[in-house]
Structures are given as structure tokens and as C-alpha cells.
Amino acid sequence: MFIYNVTVTIEESIHEEWLLWMKEKHIPDVMDTGFFVENKICKLITQEPEITYALQYTFHKMDDLAGYQKSHAPRLQKEVADKFKDKFAAFRTVLEIIP
């Protein structure tokens, strides 16, 4: 099993709107693609003034991630970028779950 991790730092001015939109719209849309089996929203605990979250999506095999990235990621990432233009920064990593 693997985790597709999206770390997002957002401006405080849009924090509550962004979090609600993630919970009600974006994450359900990602899960509806059928490539992921579970998701979590984690907030980073830090001394920094920025607000940072890690959105984690669990998947079975690397082909699942490749399928998502090819068929759905560009559209879904564009939706976020259009809605919260210049108010956030994101980077993505892949983690392997070690049993």
C-alpha cells in the first residue's frame, strides 16, 4: 500500500473556506475517481505562522496513482488553482506503507 501525500500551505485569509471546500468538494471528487481507498486530512503542528495541511490518499499499487495522474489530476488540480489562485502552495510526495 502507498500514500499519495499533498502538502498544502494556505493563506490564513482563505483557511476556513479552503478547508470546507476540501472536505465537501475536492476530496470527494478525488475519491470518486475510484483510484484511492482511503483519505485523511492532517494539519501540521508547527511554530511557523503559515497554515499547512497534508492531504493523504491511500492506494494499492503504483498503477492506481499513474491512472489518477493521467485521467483526473490535471482537471482537479486546475479547479483548486482557479478557486484559490495565488493563495496557496502545494507539493506532492508518494510514501510506501511498511507493514
In a domain? residue 71: yes
Q: Is the pLDDT of residue 48 over 90?
A: no
In a domain? residue 1: no
Q: What is the pLDDT of residues 50-97, one digit of tens each?
A: 899 999 999 999 999 999 999 999 999 999 999 999 999 999 999 999
H/E segment holding residue 7? strand 2-10
In a domain? residue 7: no
Pairing mode, strands 2-10 and 88-96: antiparallel
Q: What is the pLDDT of residue 8?
A: 96
Which pTM does this prediction carry? Answer: 0.93
Q: Is the pLDDT of residue 49 over 90?
A: no
Q: How confident is the model at residue 47 (pLDDT cuts 50, 70, 90)?
A: confident
In a domain? residue 75: yes
In a domain? residue 95: no
Rounded Cα distance, 47 and 37, in Å? 32
In a domain? residue 99: no
In a domain? residue 44: yes
